[in-house]
Structure 1
Amino acid sequence: MRHRFECPLRWSDMDAFGHVNNVVFLRYLEEARIDFMFRLARQADSGAFTGGSVVARHEIDYRRPLVHRPEPVVIELWVTKLGFASVTVGYEIKDERTVYVTAQTVVVPYDLEVGKPRRLTDQEREFLARYHDDQAGSATAA
Protein backbone atom coordinates (compact mmCIF):
# COMPACT_ATOMS: atom_id res chain seq x y z
CA MET A 1 0.00 0.00 0.00
CA ARG A 2 1.17 3.54 -0.72
CA HIS A 3 0.36 6.82 0.98
CA ARG A 4 -0.70 9.55 -1.48
CA PHE A 5 -0.04 13.19 -0.70
CA GLU A 6 -1.06 16.06 -2.98
CA CYS A 7 1.54 18.80 -2.96
CA PRO A 8 0.82 22.24 -4.44
CA LEU A 9 3.47 23.95 -6.51
CA ARG A 10 4.39 27.41 -5.32
CA TRP A 11 5.69 30.17 -7.55
CA SER A 12 8.68 30.56 -5.20
CA ASP A 13 9.66 26.91 -5.90
CA MET A 14 10.85 27.86 -9.40
CA ASP A 15 14.45 28.53 -10.37
CA ALA A 16 15.69 31.02 -12.97
CA PHE A 17 14.94 28.51 -15.75
CA GLY A 18 11.27 28.11 -14.79
CA HIS A 19 11.67 24.62 -13.29
CA VAL A 20 11.14 23.48 -9.72
CA ASN A 21 14.54 23.95 -8.07
CA ASN A 22 16.31 20.71 -7.20
CA VAL A 23 16.45 21.55 -3.48
CA VAL A 24 12.70 22.19 -3.35
CA PHE A 25 12.02 18.53 -4.16
CA LEU A 26 13.50 17.62 -0.77
CA ARG A 27 10.95 19.94 0.85
CA TYR A 28 8.17 18.19 -1.10
CA LEU A 29 9.42 14.84 0.21
CA GLU A 30 9.51 16.26 3.72
CA GLU A 31 5.92 17.49 3.46
CA ALA A 32 4.74 14.03 2.37
CA ARG A 33 6.81 12.29 5.07
CA ILE A 34 5.47 14.60 7.80
CA ASP A 35 1.91 13.95 6.64
CA PHE A 36 2.63 10.21 6.73
CA MET A 37 4.61 9.90 9.97
CA PHE A 38 3.05 12.63 12.07
CA ARG A 39 -0.54 12.96 10.90
CA LEU A 40 -1.38 9.48 9.64
CA ALA A 41 0.80 7.49 12.08
CA ARG A 42 -0.46 9.50 15.05
CA GLN A 43 -4.04 8.87 14.01
CA ALA A 44 -3.23 5.16 14.24
CA ASP A 45 -1.24 5.53 17.51
CA SER A 46 -1.24 8.82 19.40
CA GLY A 47 2.29 8.15 20.69
CA ALA A 48 3.85 7.40 17.30
CA PHE A 49 7.04 9.33 16.59
CA THR A 50 6.31 11.84 19.37
CA GLY A 51 9.87 11.48 20.65
CA GLY A 52 11.23 12.64 17.32
CA SER A 53 13.02 11.29 14.29
CA VAL A 54 15.98 12.31 12.18
CA VAL A 55 16.85 11.87 8.53
CA ALA A 56 20.00 9.78 8.14
CA ARG A 57 20.14 9.73 4.33
CA HIS A 58 18.43 11.05 1.20
CA GLU A 59 18.81 9.62 -2.27
CA ILE A 60 17.06 11.40 -5.12
CA ASP A 61 16.91 10.89 -8.87
CA TYR A 62 15.57 13.70 -11.03
CA ARG A 63 13.74 12.11 -13.99
CA ARG A 64 12.06 15.04 -15.74
CA PRO A 65 11.89 18.82 -15.23
CA LEU A 66 8.77 20.02 -13.43
CA VAL A 67 7.41 23.45 -14.35
CA HIS A 68 4.93 25.56 -12.46
CA ARG A 69 1.25 24.87 -13.06
CA PRO A 70 -1.91 25.26 -10.98
CA GLU A 71 -2.41 21.52 -10.40
CA PRO A 72 -0.59 19.85 -7.51
CA VAL A 73 1.77 16.93 -7.97
CA VAL A 74 1.14 13.63 -6.23
CA ILE A 75 3.77 12.20 -3.95
CA GLU A 76 3.38 8.49 -3.40
CA LEU A 77 5.25 7.17 -0.39
CA TRP A 78 5.83 3.61 0.85
CA VAL A 79 8.19 1.71 3.11
CA THR A 80 10.95 -0.14 1.24
CA LYS A 81 12.88 -1.39 4.27
CA LEU A 82 11.71 -1.76 7.85
CA GLY A 83 14.36 -2.32 10.49
CA PHE A 84 14.22 -2.19 14.27
CA ALA A 85 15.91 1.21 14.52
CA SER A 86 15.31 2.71 11.07
CA VAL A 87 12.88 2.82 8.19
CA THR A 88 13.58 3.48 4.52
CA VAL A 89 10.84 5.32 2.68
CA GLY A 90 10.49 5.28 -1.11
CA TYR A 91 8.78 8.05 -3.07
CA GLU A 92 7.58 9.02 -6.51
CA ILE A 93 6.70 12.61 -7.33
CA LYS A 94 4.39 12.46 -10.31
CA ASP A 95 1.21 13.35 -12.07
CA GLU A 96 -1.05 11.18 -14.23
CA ARG A 97 1.46 11.21 -17.11
CA THR A 98 4.97 11.67 -15.75
CA VAL A 99 7.24 10.60 -12.90
CA TYR A 100 9.44 13.62 -12.14
CA VAL A 101 11.43 12.29 -9.18
CA THR A 102 12.13 8.99 -7.48
CA ALA A 103 13.74 9.07 -4.06
CA GLN A 104 14.48 7.28 -0.82
CA THR A 105 14.98 8.53 2.72
CA VAL A 106 16.35 6.64 5.70
CA VAL A 107 14.64 7.84 8.88
CA VAL A 108 15.88 6.99 12.36
CA PRO A 109 13.57 7.37 15.37
CA TYR A 110 15.20 9.65 17.91
CA ASP A 111 14.78 10.26 21.62
CA LEU A 112 14.92 14.04 21.89
CA GLU A 113 15.16 14.02 25.69
CA VAL A 114 18.16 11.69 25.75
CA GLY A 115 19.64 12.98 22.50
CA LYS A 116 20.15 9.52 21.00
CA PRO A 117 18.60 7.26 18.39
CA ARG A 118 16.04 4.77 19.66
CA ARG A 119 14.30 1.66 18.40
CA LEU A 120 10.93 1.78 16.70
CA THR A 121 8.08 0.93 19.04
CA ASP A 122 5.92 -2.10 18.28
CA GLN A 123 3.05 0.24 17.38
CA GLU A 124 5.24 2.25 14.98
CA ARG A 125 6.49 -0.94 13.33
CA GLU A 126 2.93 -2.22 13.01
CA PHE A 127 1.83 1.02 11.33
CA LEU A 128 4.86 1.12 9.00
CA ALA A 129 4.44 -2.56 8.08
CA ARG A 130 1.07 -1.74 6.48
CA TYR A 131 2.94 0.40 3.94
CA HIS A 132 5.88 -1.98 3.46
CA ASP A 133 6.38 -3.03 -0.14
CA ASP A 134 9.94 -3.75 -1.21
CA GLN A 135 8.57 -4.85 -4.60
CA ALA A 136 6.59 -1.64 -5.25
CA GLY A 137 9.08 -0.39 -7.77
CA SER A 138 12.47 0.69 -6.65
CA ALA A 139 12.58 4.38 -5.91
CA THR A 140 15.96 4.47 -7.62
CA ALA A 141 15.21 2.20 -10.57
CA ALA A 142 15.98 3.66 -13.99
Structure 2
Amino acid sequence: MVIELPIAWGDMDAFQHVNNIMYFKYFESARISYFDRLDFNGHMIKTGVGPILANTQCKFKIPLTYPDQVSVGAKVDVLEKDRFLMKYLVVSHKHKKVAASGEGMLVSFDYHKNKKAPIPDELRARIADLEKNVNPDFQQI
Protein backbone atom coordinates (compact mmCIF):
# COMPACT_ATOMS: atom_id res chain seq x y z
CA MET A 1 0.00 0.00 0.00
CA VAL A 2 1.45 3.36 -1.01
CA ILE A 3 0.21 6.80 0.02
CA GLU A 4 1.35 10.28 -1.02
CA LEU A 5 2.08 12.99 1.56
CA PRO A 6 3.30 16.56 1.21
CA ILE A 7 6.27 17.80 3.21
CA ALA A 8 5.01 20.74 5.24
CA TRP A 9 7.16 23.72 6.20
CA GLY A 10 6.38 23.00 9.84
CA ASP A 11 7.82 19.46 9.52
CA MET A 12 11.33 20.93 9.48
CA ASP A 13 13.44 21.62 12.55
CA ALA A 14 16.19 24.10 13.47
CA PHE A 15 18.65 22.15 11.30
CA GLN A 16 16.57 23.00 8.21
CA HIS A 17 15.50 19.44 7.39
CA VAL A 18 12.48 17.31 8.28
CA ASN A 19 12.59 16.41 11.97
CA ASN A 20 13.14 12.72 12.69
CA ILE A 21 9.80 12.32 14.46
CA MET A 22 7.99 13.13 11.22
CA TYR A 23 9.21 9.91 9.61
CA PHE A 24 7.40 7.96 12.32
CA LYS A 25 4.28 10.00 11.55
CA TYR A 26 4.68 9.11 7.86
CA PHE A 27 4.94 5.43 8.86
CA GLU A 28 1.86 5.81 11.03
CA SER A 29 -0.13 7.39 8.18
CA ALA A 30 0.78 4.51 5.86
CA ARG A 31 0.02 1.94 8.57
CA ILE A 32 -3.41 3.45 9.30
CA SER A 33 -4.20 3.59 5.58
CA TYR A 34 -3.24 -0.09 5.36
CA PHE A 35 -5.49 -0.88 8.34
CA ASP A 36 -8.34 1.08 6.73
CA ARG A 37 -8.05 -1.12 3.64
CA LEU A 38 -8.32 -4.19 5.90
CA ASP A 39 -11.23 -2.67 7.86
CA PHE A 40 -9.19 -3.47 10.95
CA ASN A 41 -11.12 -0.86 12.94
CA GLY A 42 -14.48 -2.42 12.04
CA HIS A 43 -13.21 -5.81 13.10
CA MET A 44 -11.87 -4.32 16.34
CA ILE A 45 -15.22 -2.70 17.15
CA LYS A 46 -16.98 -6.07 16.69
CA THR A 47 -14.46 -8.28 18.52
CA GLY A 48 -12.22 -6.09 20.66
CA VAL A 49 -9.16 -7.55 18.89
CA GLY A 50 -6.89 -5.07 17.15
CA PRO A 51 -3.25 -4.13 16.64
CA ILE A 52 -0.90 -2.53 19.13
CA LEU A 53 2.55 -1.26 18.16
CA ALA A 54 5.24 -3.15 20.10
CA ASN A 55 8.29 -1.46 18.58
CA THR A 56 9.37 0.58 15.61
CA GLN A 57 12.58 1.78 14.02
CA CYS A 58 13.77 3.98 11.19
CA LYS A 59 16.92 4.14 9.08
CA PHE A 60 17.47 7.61 7.66
CA LYS A 61 19.05 7.69 4.18
CA ILE A 62 18.80 11.30 2.96
CA PRO A 63 17.42 14.45 4.59
CA LEU A 64 14.06 15.76 3.41
CA THR A 65 13.28 19.45 3.09
CA TYR A 66 10.33 21.63 2.16
CA PRO A 67 9.06 21.76 -0.56
CA ASP A 68 8.76 18.09 -1.46
CA GLN A 69 6.27 15.26 -1.52
CA VAL A 70 6.87 11.68 -0.40
CA SER A 71 5.48 8.31 -1.33
CA VAL A 72 5.19 6.16 1.77
CA GLY A 73 4.80 2.43 1.39
CA ALA A 74 3.70 -0.11 3.98
CA LYS A 75 3.60 -3.87 3.70
CA VAL A 76 3.29 -6.84 6.00
CA ASP A 77 6.53 -8.76 5.66
CA VAL A 78 6.21 -11.47 8.33
CA LEU A 79 2.93 -12.81 9.69
CA GLU A 80 3.11 -14.89 12.88
CA LYS A 81 0.47 -16.35 15.21
CA ASP A 82 -0.09 -13.20 17.28
CA ARG A 83 2.05 -10.54 15.59
CA PHE A 84 3.22 -9.20 12.28
CA LEU A 85 6.17 -7.21 11.00
CA MET A 86 5.31 -4.21 8.86
CA LYS A 87 7.99 -2.63 6.65
CA TYR A 88 7.98 0.96 5.41
CA LEU A 89 9.68 3.04 2.72
CA VAL A 90 9.67 6.82 2.37
CA VAL A 91 10.62 8.05 -1.11
CA SER A 92 11.32 11.70 -1.95
CA HIS A 93 9.73 12.93 -5.20
CA LYS A 94 12.25 15.77 -5.45
CA HIS A 95 15.31 13.53 -5.08
CA LYS A 96 13.76 10.39 -6.58
CA LYS A 97 15.45 8.37 -3.82
CA VAL A 98 14.55 6.43 -0.72
CA ALA A 99 14.77 8.92 2.15
CA ALA A 100 14.12 6.37 4.91
CA SER A 101 13.17 2.79 5.55
CA GLY A 102 11.72 1.32 8.68
CA GLU A 103 9.73 -1.38 10.31
CA GLY A 104 7.34 -1.94 13.15
CA MET A 105 6.24 -5.02 15.04
CA LEU A 106 2.51 -5.06 15.70
CA VAL A 107 0.91 -7.42 18.15
CA SER A 108 -2.66 -8.64 17.93
CA PHE A 109 -4.26 -7.46 21.17
CA ASP A 110 -7.61 -8.18 22.79
CA TYR A 111 -8.56 -4.80 24.24
CA HIS A 112 -11.48 -6.30 26.22
CA LYS A 113 -9.27 -8.87 27.98
CA ASN A 114 -6.16 -6.63 28.01
CA LYS A 115 -3.85 -9.32 26.60
CA LYS A 116 -2.33 -10.69 23.39
CA ALA A 117 -4.59 -12.62 21.07
CA PRO A 118 -4.06 -14.70 17.93
CA ILE A 119 -4.53 -12.79 14.69
CA PRO A 120 -8.07 -13.69 13.58
CA ASP A 121 -8.27 -15.87 10.46
CA GLU A 122 -10.48 -13.27 8.76
CA LEU A 123 -7.75 -10.63 9.11
CA ARG A 124 -5.04 -13.07 8.02
CA ALA A 125 -7.02 -13.62 4.82
CA ARG A 126 -7.47 -9.87 4.29
CA ILE A 127 -3.73 -9.26 4.80
CA ALA A 128 -2.84 -12.05 2.34
CA ASP A 129 -5.27 -10.62 -0.23
CA LEU A 130 -3.95 -7.07 0.18
CA GLU A 131 -0.35 -8.22 -0.14
CA LYS A 132 -1.15 -10.26 -3.23
CA ASN A 133 -3.29 -7.67 -5.01
CA VAL A 134 -2.04 -4.26 -3.89
CA ASN A 135 1.49 -4.42 -2.62
CA PRO A 136 3.37 -4.93 -5.86
CA ASP A 137 3.21 -1.09 -5.75
CA PHE A 138 5.45 -1.15 -2.68
CA GLN A 139 8.33 -2.49 -4.74
CA GLN A 140 7.94 0.32 -7.29
CA ILE A 141 8.27 3.31 -4.96
TM-score range, shorter chain: 0.7 to 0.9
Flag structure 1 segments of 5+ consecutive residues without an equivalent.
138-142
Q: Does residue 1:90 correspond to 2:87, yes or no?
A: yes
Higher helix content, 1 or 2: 2
**Structure 2 unmatched runs, 5+:** none
Q: CA deviation at 1:72?
A: 2.4
The reply to whether residue 36 of structure 1 matches residue 31 of structure 2 is: no
Q: Structure 1's 46 and 31: CA in aligned 2 closer, same or farther, altered over 3 A?
A: closer
**Aligned mates of 1:123, 1:103 — CA distance in 2:** 27
Residue type of the alignment partner of 1:30: E
Higher strand share: 2
Cα pair 1:19 1:67 within 8 Å, conserved: yes
Q: Please list every run of at least 4 consecutive aligned residues from structure 1 whose deviation after the TM superposition is greater than 6 angstroms.
A: none
Alignment of 1:1-142 (within 5 A): 3-37=1-35, 39-42=36-39, 47-50=42-45, 51=48, 52-69=50-67, 71-96=68-93, 97-130=96-129, 131=131
- How well do the aligned residues superpose, as a CA RMSD in angstroms? 2.1
In the superposition, the TM-score normalised over structure 2's length comes to: 0.82
Identity %: 26
Spell out, residue by residue over 1:36-56, the C-alpha distance to the aligned partner (whole angstroms, 9 max, x if none): 11x1111xx774344332111
Helix, strand or coil at the partner of 1:20:
coil
Distance 1:106 1:46 in 2: 18
The range that moved more, 16-25 or 45-54, is 45-54
The letter of the residue matching 2:73 is E
TM-score between both structures, scaled by the size of structure 1: 0.81
